[in-house]
Chains A and B, each alone.
Chain A
Amino acid sequence: MDLRQVAVDQYESRESLIRRGVWKGDLYKTVDVNKGSRGWLWKTLVLDDDQEVKELMPVPILTEGSEDPTSAIVQSANRPRDNLIRRLTPVATKAHPLSQKQIGDMRDKGELEGQKVVEGDEDDEDGMSVSEKLEIIDLDLSRLMLDKIFQEPLVHARMKQIMYNFLMRKGASSPSSYKQGYHEILGIIFLQLDEARRNNEGGNNDNSNNNNDDDDGDAVMMNQVLCIFEKIMKQMVGVFYNETRLIKWDSDVFQPILNNSCPELYKLIYSNQHHHTNIIWLIRWTRLLFIRELPRDYTLIIWDHILTFTYPLDTLIACIIVTLLVNNYQNLMEKIEDHNDIVEFMLHYSLNSSSMIDCVELCKMSGNLCELWYLQDFTAMKLVADSFLKIRFNVENKTTPKAVKIDPNRKRLEDRLRKRVKQTLLTKETK
């Protein structure tokens, strides 16, 4: 069935589509969202009806010594990319290493020990010139393997132009910092909207030969991609793409949610951990929003939920990861002996994970945890995880506190949550 038709017939508003269609999962029961209609869904979820179409700035071609993008020659999206790329560490050595003082002499004199290594950026300034940023974007886009369309020169040029515009808008007068990973997030969005557009063209033969319409359509699509990308990155860049804030998110959000939901897993993963060991795997999990860890169709359903912006992204991502960990409770408990094992398990999650919860149920449970986290109802968070473990793995949690006198309202809420988790899991199992 056509997603648009279903949406129009069954959901009276965007809020209804979000609540019933996405979070309740009704949409996935009636429509195959993966067949080219996800682009429409994302546009509907994210873009405003009166979305203004702004003309994207062309990408400058910078000659040596000219780093001002406003005065540079420009490169249109239709021009094939250069293949002259490479390097790309934020702060480069200025001089040739062989022309420098002998390293051995320096070491003998203890000079190396005293030298401070210039580290990369933490905020928006990374010390890279515009041309260096464009170079690394070129390099990353040339290695974007999400789909074969990204090897097409025109698609490459469009992606580069969108990314350039994103960095320019974010950085006011000069492009802001680019981090590897941005390109994959952008790639996923581009892919969905491009697929929707191609499908639309396929069913719209009257206009398919009209070049002007095509150009307009391209401009609109690129604008829409940029807009969705900006909205999602607004919540991601400041938390997940900044090392200091990622560490703070780990300690202030992720760890407490994990600890309150499943203390046994928290203990396994965080006790006696060396400094920031878990950040090693959390970097990729958070920066790419599960693209590398989970199957594509599965990941895209998670993205549908993310793009409803029902919960702040930093909390929702933490809760999704916690749910995925709880879903691998037995596996983790049996396989993990030290922190190397944890990093290995999590960086190769797709190979190591032995059970996959239904994606909509994963999002529902994560949403529940989000709500309880905001209510600071830690008992209920634990109850959600315990009920899940009991039903799914028959794991009886011995650390559940003995019955104490509980507020009747809280008890009702807990009972309702328990019932909801049980129902959703049983429904899934009987399918």
Chain B
Amino acid sequence: MSGLRTVSASAGSGKSYDSIMKILLIGDSGVGKSCLLVRFVDDKFNPSFITTIGIDFKIKTVDINGKKIKLQLWDTAGQERFRTITTAYYRGAMGIILVYDVTDERTFANIRQWFKTVNEHANDDAQLLLVGNKSDMETRTVTLEQGETLAKELGIPFVESSAKNDDNVNEIFFTLAKLIQEKIDNDKLAGGTSGKDSSININSGGSGSKSGCC
């Protein structure tokens, strides 16, 4: 099964979307994965967000070029390193966001571990994005340059964000959606996968800005 696909709603099913993108957030406990999700989906922020137990997810449907794309955003407990369940969790993931905390070097160091997990379990087609969260904090220990360097080495895009100040949060998700859509389009051109609803206009619904993204 391809990890990159759009799932069209069956005609007359009453579903309020045209296609789905499954996106995962991974990273150490306390880096702010749930806060990023809550900021993106509900536009709220709480500095002490409740611990994620096991797996949770949120849905955000974005209107893109007249089509509704349902972003299915999966969030994991940072402590969990699933064995068997990993296959279920990573299955069908079209985009994966690796999150670290810029105020905690250990979470940055562990990105490499998470990257290995992704390489082992996720589909080859899955699009990745590295995110350094909590960029508003003055107690930063990981520089922007370090984040950029690691992203370059991993061969994935990078963005720093602040769920607290709502900096670059939309960009994270829209950048990834764009990457996913580009992949779908390229595959279609190459006669590859069966992606149907292309043409995601990522400027719609977000700021369209790519500030902080390399």
Contact = CB atoms under 8 A, between A and B. Distances in A.
Interface of A: 85-93, 95-98, 100, 102-104, 107, 112-113, 115-120, 122, 136, 139-140, 142-145, 151, 179-181, 183-184, 243-244, 247, 274-277, 279-281, 283-284, 287-288, 292, 337, 340, 343-344, 347
A190 to B, nearest CB: 16
A136 B112 CA distance: 20
A120 B81 contact: yes
Given A243-B82, A276-B87, A340 B72 contact: yes
B79 A90 contact: yes
A12 to B, nearest CB: 40
Contacts of B51: 139-140, 143-144, 180-181, 183-184
B199 interface: no
Contact of B83 (A87, A88, A103, A120): A120
Contacts of B111: 97
A348 to B, nearest CB: 9
B154 to A, nearest CB: 5
B84 interface: yes
Contact of B48 (A102, A145, A277, A287): A145
Contact of A88 (B56, B78, B88): B78
Given A86-B30, A93-B113, A287-B53, A142 B88 contact: no
Q: How many of chain B's residues touch chain A, expressed as a range?
A: 35 or more
Given A117-B116, A340-B72, 7 more contacts: A87-B28, A88-B30, A92-B113, A117-B120, A120-B81, A340-B20, A344-B72
A319 B54 CA distance: 21
B85 interface: yes
A276 B85 contact: yes
Contacts of B150: 97-98
Nearest to A334: B14
A38 B150 CA distance: 53
Given A97-B150, A107-B155, A347-B55, A276 B29 contact: no
A97 B109 contact: yes
Q: Which 8 residue pairs spanning A and B have beta carbons closest together?
A: A283-B54, A120-B81, A88-B29, A87-B106, A97-B112, A284-B54, A276-B88, A86-B104
B211 interface: no
B6 interface: no
Interface in B126-144: none
Contacts of A344: 57, 59, 72
Nearest to B26: A89
Interface string B69-108: 0001000011111111101110100000000010111111
A204 B10 CA distance: 66
A142 B48 contact: yes
A427 to B, nearest CB: 36
Contacts of A104: 153-155
22 contacts: A87-B29, A87-B107, A88-B28, A88-B29, A88-B79, A89-B81, A90-B81, A91-B81, A103-B153, A113-B119, A115-B116, A119-B81, A119-B82, A143-B50, A144-B51, A184-B53, A247-B84, A274-B88, A274-B91, A279-B88, A284-B55, A292-B53
Contact of B88 (A98, A179, A180, A275): A275
B110 interface: yes
A97 B109 CA distance: 5
A337 B11 CA distance: 13
A85 B30 contact: yes
B93 to A, nearest CB: 12
